[in-house]
């Protein structure tokens, strides 16, 4: 299991980054398709989990008002990446490959893109966490309602606290490389899409969720009316 000791733990009654990572670790360890997965797929999934953990730990680390300004966050990420001896050693090792003409130049140039990936990944995860907390406060009026964010996170509404359970659609993990703070937000009932749209602000996600819940309520009322007529 991946170590999450470095996560920032809050005392508030809310869904935290620690809980998000725990959910993902549990769902990965107990995946339904484990028996069918070959060794290569399993190794890749564990590597993906390590990357996801790194991003969640970073989002938790910078989950502070002092980093709400993008420039301050970029400066902090710049210091982290530039001071990472293991990353520098890996870049050097990879650069000694004929494919890179034994030069550091290409990989060094990619460092800036990597830093921006970290910034956008952190902002994306901050928004995902805010949306999950919003979902936890909604009434669970149907058993199989779940919400898919950017085709990466799949959040199920549950009957027990914290009233949500998060998993990752690992087959779409490659999408993490290009995440932005705006993303698709889809509410489903089993495999049926109820509503879908772009989440640019927190209010967008809540409006989409409320619209989906209204649809479910209407369907239930219609069904009850039909059953009353039969009786």
Q: What is the pLDDT of residues 127-138, one digit of tens each?
A: 999 999 999 998
Q: Quick one: pLDDT band at residue 9, thresholds 50, 70, 90?
A: very low
Q: How far apart are alpha carbons 10 and 8 in whole angstroms?
A: 7
Burial of 3 (0-12, 13-18, 19+ CB in 10 A): exposed
Q: Give the model's pLDDT for residue 130.
A: 97
Q: Quick one: pLDDT band at residue 4, thresholds 50, 70, 90?
A: low
* Mean pLDDT (whole number) for 156-164: 90
Q: Give the model's pLDDT for residue 10.
A: 40
Q: How far apart are alpha carbons 186 and 199 in whole angstroms?
A: 10
pLDDT at 30 over 70: no
Tell the residue number behind the tokens 């893109």, with chain if given. 113
- The model scores a pTM over 0.75: yes
Mean pLDDT taken over the chain: 88
With a pLDDT cut of 70, the percent of the chain lying above it is 90
Q: How far apart are alpha carbons 170 and 180 in whole angstroms?
A: 18
Contact 52, 28 (CB under 8 A): no
Q: How far apart are alpha carbons 204 and 26 in whole angstroms?
A: 29
Where is average pLDDT lowest: 22-26, 42-46, 171-175? 42-46
């Amino acid at each position: 299991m991946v170590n999450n000791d470095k996560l920032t733990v809050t005392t508030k009654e809310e869904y935290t980054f620690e809980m998000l990572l725990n959910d993902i670790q549990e769902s990965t360890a107990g995946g339904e398709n484990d028996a069918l997965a070959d060794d290569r797929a399993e190794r890749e999934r564990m590597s993906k989990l390590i990357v996801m953990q790194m991003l969640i730990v970073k989002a938790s680390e910078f989950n502070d008002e002092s980093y709400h300004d993008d420039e301050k966050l970029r400066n902090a990420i710049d210091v982290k990446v530039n001071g990472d001896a293991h990353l520098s050693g890996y870049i050097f090792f990879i650069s000694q490959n004929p494919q890179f003409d034994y030069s550091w130049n290409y990989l060094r140039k990619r460092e800036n893109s990597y830093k921006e990936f970290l910034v956008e990944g952190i902002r994306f995860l901050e928004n995902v966490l805010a949306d999950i907390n919003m979902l936890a406060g909604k009434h669970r009026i149907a058993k199989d309602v779940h919400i898919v964010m950017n085709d990466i996170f799949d959040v199920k509404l549950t009957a027990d606290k914290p009233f949500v359970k998060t998993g990752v659609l690992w087959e779409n993990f490659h999408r993490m490389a290009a995440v932005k703070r705006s993303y698709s937000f889809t509410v489903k009932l089993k495999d049926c899409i109820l509503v879908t749209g772009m989440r640019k602000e927190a209010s967008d996600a809540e409006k989409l969720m409320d619209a989906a819940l209204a649809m479910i309520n209407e369907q239930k009322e219609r069904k009850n009316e039909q059953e009353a007529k039969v009786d």
